[in-house]
Chains A and B, each alone.
Chain A
Amino acid sequence: MKIPNINRFKIIDLLKEGKRLDGRKPFDFRDIEIETGISVNAEGTARVKIGKTEVIVGVKMGTQEPYPDHEDEGTMVTGMEFSPMAGDRYENGPPQMDSIEVARVVDRGIRESKYIDWKKLCIKEGEKVWSIMIDIYCINDDGNVMDASAIGAVTALKMSRFPKYDEETGKVLYGEFTDKPLPLTEHIPFTMTFHKIGNKLLLDPNRDEEDSSDGRLTLAISQASKKDKMINSMQKGGITSITCEEMDEIIKEAEKCYDKIFPEIEKKIKRLSK
């Protein structure tokens, strides 16, 4: 059943007082669980749960010719799909707008934060580079699939190991892996999507809250140790506009949230990838 009006009104009314139906504060995240080992055939995988929302992410690698304006850099493509099993609102078919946007936003957060050292993915300048293919699947949607997907993607990348590569034939030996991790920097981007519900902001909406949301702003923040926090990407979605005061509030809350939540996530990811 789609969300009833009375539930929407309740969510909006409560938020005016800084309250949420599940007792969280406006900028609290639900419990985040991170695992790996979904497919031994992938170069790297991750499984992320935020509350009951669950996404599975996998990394596959291949080789290709570099792009003309980046002759010594590897490439990356990100795809995302809501599996029809994620909820009864999802029918099968080509990726819908929602999923294309999730893929592109996650992609940009990773790309612009320079999380991946693209030059170290070069095999032969101008001729051959490594290409990274990230595939994100949501298998249960209880809101905030965007942020779950982003955590999944950075984790899967951290877990990834290069497949064996035969220099002579120039072929990738799929199914055979090395111990070599991807060339990642310490700038792990953390993606947070703020939602505007009736003129109030919140983070990590569950499904009902997301259905009550009028607009959202996703930002990815990374921080090299002790330096400034950097905003690497932003995307506004939905129809409602964001006031400049709200913009200021978002950035302040994003910094707070990064400090509060991200260290734990970073620890989990690093522990998994040992």
Chain B
Amino acid sequence: MTSYPKRIDKRKFDELRPIKAEVGIIPNADGSALFAFGETVAIAAVYGPKPLHPAHMQNPERGIVRCNYNMLPFSVTERAKPGPNRRSKEISMVAGNALASVIDLERFPGTVIDVEIMILQANASTRCAGINAAAMALAQAGVVMKELVSSVSIGKIDDKIVADVTKAEEDWEEGEGATDIAFTMTSVTKEITHLQLDGKIQTHRFMEAVDAAKAACEKIHQYQIRALKGEKINENEK
């Protein structure tokens, strides 16, 4: 007997929250974008490739991606002290790797591409929204990349596999509780470039989560393409 027959916000199990997506929002940046899953809103800006200082940080064979993830203190209900913390540093790292995997870094050795991700409003899945925005910003910045990446959080809430997890779902305690799995997948080759899991999921069920991630990422990819082609998507508007 499941404790989670229907989702708290009444979405279907594979349904994403209303999406907002737009590019070119920061005039000074080489590329920029906004991406939102419902109440989780992220903006990203890209500068580069550009010279990397100090010189000892340069890699003579390839460029590097320097990603910084930051949540606004007022993006969450209890104010988050400004400045980097262990969590944000970790996310910066995994997000940077997720994005770097599709970029042709050998094109400009010794350079850096700066990716700045900022969370304006948070309701779980912030790193996923941030990576989606950053991928669009990189493309808009003319960075040479094989494909885009799309990111989504897959949850197992009690025994149900769901796409695009909210905070309320993250906090679910009944039955098997909540397991939160963040995926980032490449858009064409469908490879996983970022994966984090918190909770507990039976080994024989994990591939269900992978399938759910694949399907959700395909949907997200379509939004990213539309935004890059000039659409200002806002499914929150009624």
Contact surface of A with B, Cβ cutoff 8 Å: 38-43, 45, 52, 54, 56, 58-60, 62, 79, 81, 83-88, 92, 94, 133, 135, 137, 139-142, 174-175
Contact = CB atoms under 8 A, between A and B. Distances in A.
Given A56-B120, A83-B116, A142-B28, A41 B82 contact: no
Output the residue of A38, A62, A85, A137 with the most chain B CB within 10 A: A85
Output the residue of B76, B77, B83, B118 with the most chain A CB within 10 A: B77
A174 B122 CA distance: 14
Interface in B41-82: 41, 43-45, 47, 50, 68, 70, 72-79, 82
A83 B39 contact: no
Output the residue of B39, B84, B114 with the most chain A CB within 10 A: B114
Given A84-B114, A87-B28, A139 B72 contact: no
A142 B27 contact: yes
A39 B32 contact: no
A60 B79 contact: yes
B121 A135 contact: no
A3 to B, nearest CB: 14
Given A40-B121, A94-B83, A84 B74 contact: no
A139 B121 contact: no
**7 nearest A-B residue pairs (beta carbon):** A58-B74, A85-B45, A42-B74, A175-B77, A60-B79, A174-B77, A39-B121
Nearest to A135: B73
Given A88-B50, A142-B27, A174 B78 contact: yes
6 contacts: A38-B121, A41-B76, A41-B122, A88-B47, A135-B72, A139-B118
B141 interface: no
Contacts of A135: 72-74, 79, 82
Contacts of B77: 41, 174-175
A133 to B, nearest CB: 6
Interface of B: 26-29, 32, 39, 41, 43-45, 47, 50, 68, 70, 72-79, 82-84, 114, 116, 118, 120-122
B72 A39 contact: yes
B74 A41 contact: yes
Nearest to B119: A39
B120 A39 contact: yes
Contacts of B44: 85
A56 B121 contact: no
A206 to B, nearest CB: 12
A263 B122 CA distance: 34
A56 B72 contact: yes
Nearest to A133: B79
A85 B79 contact: no
Given A41-B75, A41-B122, A85-B118, A141 B82 contact: no
Nearest to B117: A85
A74 B223 CA distance: 46
A101 B45 CA distance: 25
A37 B120 CA distance: 10
A81 B82 contact: yes
Nearest to B118: A83
A85 B47 CA distance: 8
Contacts of B121: 38-41
A92 B114 CA distance: 11
Given A52-B27, A137-B118, A142-B28, 7 more contacts: A39-B41, A39-B122, A41-B77, A45-B74, A85-B26, A85-B47, A86-B26
Contacts of A38: 74, 120-121
